[in-house]
Amino acid sequence: MFRSKITGTGHYLPEDKITNHDLAKMVDTNHEWIVERTGIHARRNAKPDQATSDLALIAAKQALEAANLRATDLDMIIFGSITPDYIMPSTACILQEKLGAGNCVAFDLIAACSGFIYGLATADMYIKTGNKKNILVIGAEVLHNYVDYTDRGTCILFGDGAGAAIVSRNEDDNDKSEIYSHHLYSDGSLNKLLYVPDGGSVSPMTKDSIDQRLNAVKMNGREIFKHAVRAMSKCSTEALEANSMSADDVSWVIPHQANTRIIEATAKHMKFPMDRVVVEIEEMGNTSAATIAVAMDKAIKDGRVKRGQNILLTAFGAGLTSGSLLFKY
Ligand code: UT7
């Protein structure tokens, strides 16, 4: 068995923003309500010529540079997203070409907002077994195409963005950086709490589906909220127990940035102080698979997250999926 570590990270958020004041002109809502209930002030909007792979490309280049690797050093690309460039081929293959990553293995992974943690966990397993050495994990979305801007229950939440991490084999015995564990879950019985009804094989896209906005995200917000707190608390507690750690041993929790109240409720449940929780939702909203990757890279770049610290990631998403990943950075 080999050890794996996170060697580089990167992120990109489009410059254009949709503010709460912009949304208040489209639906019956207001800045104060959105801030109080979600913590979000603005979400990012990719330009029409920016595909999910374009956002990911910028994040991936940063991560490669931070890891001191070239694209041709990659053995695998795992692309977590629910908003691919095309139905086929995979966005991972598109990114591979844009990066000039040679012929490494490249595939997409659909676990919604848990996609980045699922991707890191998959990368860790390939590295632990000795099968691969350097893996690029992406969480990236252009979600605004799937948002119904007449539905005030969902349009206040979602935005576009991309994050990336390189997971590499750690061959240096003196370097204690390591992915310790991951705990992943899926509960398919809750699949209708958060989904896009049309555009798949059950109900292919028609003019009617677009007119009725059935190609956009539908969500039972209250139910998702409850399950989110429960799921993230459960898998985070498991992560600590599996590594014989307490909250005091962890420097930072980086949760899925879906809603500040969900984050605060989860931290309270875990008895984890909010001043050691990374919250970056205010200016980006919920970017699904990208949120943790973006928040982690921001916290690394501004010096909150440092080498040698224990870091706990936790997420939940459509499926419902959930997961945690505990590592020494
Ligand atoms: O990555 C996973 C993605 N999904 C999530 O994370 C969703 C999790 N859920 C949430 O974030 C919250 O449920 C929401 C932010 C979506 C909604 O907040 P809430 O505190 O659960 O509100 P609610 O649905 O219980 O609605 C409370 C009231 C309702 O009015 P009445 O029935 O009490 O008169 C809603 O109609 O607030 C109303 N409301 C709004 N008012 C102003 C709902 N949306 C809005 C809005 N502006 N945008």
pLDDT digits (tens, 9 = 90+) for 213-224: 999 999 999 999
Question: Residue 221 is encoded by which pair of tokens?
Answer: 């917000």
317 lines ligand 1 (CB under 6 A): yes
Q: How far is the CA of 222 from the centre of ligand 1 (A)?
A: 7
Phi, psi angle pair for 249, to nearest 5°: -80, -10
Element at 116 (helix H, strand E): helix 115-128
- Would you state the pLDDT for residue 82? 98
Contact criterion met (CB below 8 Å) for 106 and 71: no
Nearest-angstrom CA–CA distance, 123 and 99: 19
Active site residue 235: no
- Would you state the pLDDT for residue 137? 98
321 lines ligand 1 (CB under 6 A): no
Number of the ligand 1 atom closest to the C-alpha atom of 27: 48
Contacts of 232 (CB under 8 A, 6+ apart): 255, 256, 262, 266, 314, 315, 316, 322, 324
Q: How far is the CA of 312 from the centre of ligand 1 (A)?
A: 28
Nearest-angstrom CA–CA distance, 91 and 109: 10
The DSSP call for residue 247 is G
The catalytic residue among 45, 215, 256, 259 is: 256
29 lines ligand 1 (CB under 6 A): yes
Contact criterion met (CB below 8 Å) for 209 and 246: no
Active site residue 103: no
Length of the chain: 329
Contacts of 89 (CB under 8 A, 6+ apart): none
90 lines ligand 1 (CB under 6 A): no
Q: How far is the CA of 37 from the centre of ligand 1 (A)?
A: 7
CA 144 to chain centre: 16
304 lines ligand 1 (CB under 6 A): no
Q: Is the peptide bond before 13 cis (omega within 30 degrees of 0)?
A: no
C-alpha distances (whole Å) from 222 to each of 150, 311, 329 are: 19, 29, 35
Of 25, 37, 227, the one to substitute when testing ligand 1's pocket (max ligand atoms within 8 A of C-beta) is 37
Burial class (CB in 10 A: 0-12, 13-18, 19+), 197: middle
291 lines ligand 1 (CB under 6 A): no
Q: Whose CA is nearest to atom 20 of ligand 1?
A: 37
- Would you state the pLDDT for residue 129? 97
Contact criterion met (CB below 8 Å) for 317 and 114: yes
Q: Shortest CA distance to 316 belongs to which of 150, 193, 218?
A: 193
Within the chain, which residues score under 70 in pLDDT? none
Q: What are the b/e assignments for 181-195, b being 16+ CB within 10 Å?
A: bbbbbbeeebeebbe
Question: Residue 327 is encoded by which pair of tokens?
Answer: 């590592």
Number of the ligand 1 atom closest to the C-alpha atom of 261: 11
Q: How far is the CA of 221 from the centre of ligand 1 (A)?
A: 6
Of 82, 259, 291, the one to substitute when testing ligand 1's pocket (max ligand atoms within 8 A of C-beta) is 259
The catalytic residue among 93, 113, 155, 235 is: 113
152 lines ligand 1 (CB under 6 A): yes
- Would you state the pLDDT for residue 202? 96
Dihedral sign of CA atoms 148, 188, 317, 110 in order: negative
- Would you state the pLDDT for residue 66? 98
Q: What is the pTM of this model?
A: 0.97
Report the DSSP pairing between strands 3-12 and 161-170: antiparallel
Q: How far is the CA of 212 from the centre of ligand 1 (A)?
A: 21
Active site residue 191: no
Q: Whose CA is nearest to atom 6 of ligand 1?
A: 258
Q: What are the b/e assignments for 42-56, b being 16+ CB within 10 Å?
A: bbbbbeeebbbbbbb
Q: Whose CA is nearest to atom 30 of ligand 1?
A: 153
Nearest-angstrom CA–CA distance, 232 and 314: 6
